[in-house]
Structure 1
Amino acid sequence: MAQTARAVRFDRYGGIEELKVVEIPRPSPEAGQVVVEVVAAAVNPGEAAIRQGFMHEQFPSTFPSGEGSDFAGRIAEIGAGVGGVAVGDAVLGFTDARASHATHVVVPADQVTRKPDALDWNVAATLYVAGTTAFATVKAVDAVSGDTVAVSGAAGGVGSIAVQLLRARGAKVIGIAGADNHEWLRSVGVVPVAYGDGLIDRLRGAAPDGIDAFIDTFGADYVDIAIELGVPVDRIDTIINFDAISKHGVKGEGNAAAGTIDVVAELAQQAAAGTFDVPIAAVYPLDDVRGAYRELERRHTRGKIVLRP
């Protein structure tokens, strides 16, 4: 058994150039833990914000810092007292230690769940941060069959899942996105609307009877737009505009509201069954983590970017 692993690290807050891949001691499991050999790990916008120091108050870093929350892989080692899984089992899950961008990660055994055979490895690696956040937003706006729901950033990592979960509930979904994502949105039953000047008029045209709920996954002024359109504040949810939450009293439910292994397991079963798909925008080797974040930070990605150690 190899005694070392490889992991992404940064030594101070800053840009993409701070990221590096280093050799570290291979993690060992304590009682109740498992070591997972990572097959795929998602790249998330929050991780970029943490690295840049923008979220120091909420999520301070200690250096050297790792990164990454969700992953899919195979059980490589089991600690004392762990049952229900065996070495070699395919699993997906999450770490709270910013450690999934690596060849190996150690986590409590109750933070992994079995990967359905039909579930693609890359998709499995996206279901903790993006998947549970989308799940929470849909629940927060209480979408039901017959509702009309608008989603900003509708082709992004969270938005692309949220629009499909909304459609599965029978809602009419209006997806706000750039023109290059409109064909994909139509393919999953979503009415596409371009962002930019004149958006309010386009939304009114797409929903002449009004919009019942609004999910904001992008930020900017989308909460203000939702309010101007007459959407009740208790049916507006934003995962990024924290000022709007305090200013307007809209909801701010995201990963923290649904980030449990039970929800991850439910999403894995739904994805394996074809209830929704996660568009994979790009797959990067671990050594090109800078390239992965460079693409992510352009904020025009359809679906998710994944690292493959």
Structure 2
Amino acid sequence: MRAAAFSSYGSPSVFRMMEFEDPQASSGEVRIRIKAAGVLPFDRRVRKGWTPPGLSIDFPVIPGNEFAGIIDQVGEGVNGFSVGDHVLGFTVLKSYAEYLVVNPDRIVIKPANMPWDVAGGFSGNGQGAHMALEAIGVGNGDTVLIHAAAGGLGTFASQLAQVWGASAVIGTASKGNHDYLRSLGVIPVTYGNGLVERIRELAPEGVDAALDAAGPDALRASMELVKNKERIRTMVSSDLAQELGIPSSFGTRSVARISELTDLYAQGKLHIHIRKEFPLNQAADAHRKIENGHGRGKVVLTVD
């Protein structure tokens, strides 16, 4: 099979198209012919030299944390899935490829109304947002602050908070993404100096919970705006969070989370914007795209 992989850490230019033996589904596994794979900050960190907890890295590395495709092999003992099923799911590595072998507890059936590009980029940010909002206890009547609300994770979190009963969602974003946020029911506010004051004007009674996907300045602003720091989480500034005493706990990915999210999508309650599609052999360009910042929605790789 072909895969986008790298044999040394570094910039996006380390990516090469490489040939690997086709993986085979063993007992208790399924093989998926990949149609699309999402491109996440997680993948970028791996490319730069970070090793996910519990793993060891051997070169060459095929990154890729989320995927969608068609089952073409079913191992002995697998129930509930058949050859030809359209699925989406999660892994840690290896989805930037033509084929992927996973356990069936990592996949769900793709909704019929979900395009392949959306499905390929659905699981990672979707579950990240779900875990974060659950950790900060978002519920009925809350005013929730989402930093980087127009990005892949922010798009999910902004909508999911409303589904879970938030009375208002305030989202930080660059000016060019404000209309997009309004289309999602989010109150937009611009990054930069005076952010805390601008948010207080929008929420004079205060902000109940905050999720940061933007960086240290956003996390510090959240500390000024949210009374209970147990109701703050960051996806990007873990060192500062530890310094400020902000909890780092989130949760674990699961089929139950994906199933809840795919059900919401099928009902028309989640709308995912695809920022850019790249063919598999342009993985380097896809990584350059997510490093630009201020992006709207998801970047995905497509596999012929």
TM bucket, shorter chain: over 0.9
Instruction: Check if 1:131 corresponds to 2:131.
Output: no
Counterpart code for 1:293: H
Kept in 1, the 8 Å contact 2:67–2:95? The answer is yes
Superposed displacement of residue 210, structure 1: 1.0
Kept in 1, the 8 Å contact 2:63–2:95? The answer is yes
Instruction: Check if 1:233 corresponds to 2:239.
Output: no
Q: d(CA) in 2 for partners of 1:198 and 1:225?
A: 10
Instruction: Check if 1:275 corresponds to 2:266.
Output: no
2:218 maps to which of 219, 222, 239:
222
Matched residue SS, 1:91: strand
Deviates more, 1:114-123 or 1:56-65: 56-65
Task: Map 1:250-269 onto structure 2 (within 5 A).
Answer: 250-254=246-250, 257-269=251-263
Instruction: Check if 1:31 corresponds to 2:27.
Output: yes
1:201 maps to which of 178, 197, 200:
197
Q: d(CA) in 1 for partners of 2:96 and 2:114?
A: 20
The equivalent of 1:169 in structure 2 is 164
Deviates more, 1:141-150 or 1:222-231: 222-231
Instruction: Check if 1:160 corresponds to 2:155.
Output: yes
Matched residue SS, 1:282: strand
2:116 maps to which of 116, 121, 133:
121
Q: d(CA) in 1 for partners of 2:264 and 2:241?
A: 30
Matched residue SS, 1:21: strand
Superposed displacement of residue 304, structure 1: 0.6
Counterpart code for 1:141: I
Superposed displacement of residue 251, structure 1: 2.6
Instruction: Check if 1:110 corresponds to 2:72.
Output: no
Kept in 1, the 8 Å contact 2:242–2:248? The answer is no
Kept in 2, the 8 Å contact 1:239–1:252? The answer is no
1:11 maps to which of 7, 11, 14:
7
Kept in 2, the 8 Å contact 1:140–1:251? The answer is no
Counterpart code for 1:244: L
Superposed displacement of residue 220, structure 1: 2.1
Q: Deviations over 1:109-163 (max 9, x none)?
A: 2221111212222222223210000001111111122211111111111111000
The equivalent of 1:143 in structure 2 is 138
Instruction: Check if 1:77 corresponds to 2:69.
Output: no
The equivalent of 1:284 in structure 2 is 278
Kept in 1, the 8 Å contact 2:209–2:226? The answer is no
1:90 maps to which of 86, 93, 97:
86
Q: Deviations over 1:235-271 (max 9, x none)?
A: 11111211133222223344xx141122112211111
Counterpart code for 1:284: F
Instruction: Check if 1:211 corresponds to 2:207.
Output: yes
Question: Are residues 276 and 253 of structure 1, via their aligned partners in 2, closer, same or farther at CA, if it must alter by over 3 Å?
Answer: farther
Aligned residues: 301
Matched residue SS, 2:96: coil
The equivalent of 1:294 in structure 2 is 288
Q: Deviations over 1:264-291 (max 9, x none)?
A: 1221111121111111101111011111
Superposed displacement of residue 229, structure 1: 2.3
Instruction: Check if 1:20 corresponds to 2:16.
Output: yes
Kept in 1, the 8 Å contact 2:226–2:232? The answer is no
Matched residue SS, 2:216: coil
Q: d(CA) in 2 for partners of 1:161 and 1:218?
A: 15
For the aligned residue pairs, the C-alpha RMSD in angstroms reads 1.4
Counterpart code for 1:90: H
Unaligned runs of 5+ in 2: none
Counterpart code for 2:73: E
2:298 maps to which of 284, 300, 304:
304
Q: d(CA) in 1 for partners of 2:23 and 2:226?
A: 52
Counterpart code for 2:146: V
Counterpart code for 1:307: L
* Identity, % of aligned positions: 37
Task: Map 1:237-252 onto structure 2 (within 5 A).
Answer: 237-252=233-248
Counterpart code for 2:273: P
Matched residue SS, 1:25: coil
Q: d(CA) in 1 for partners of 2:274 and 2:30?
A: 27
Q: Deviations over 1:80-123 (max 9, x none)?
A: 21122111110111223x10011111111222111121222222
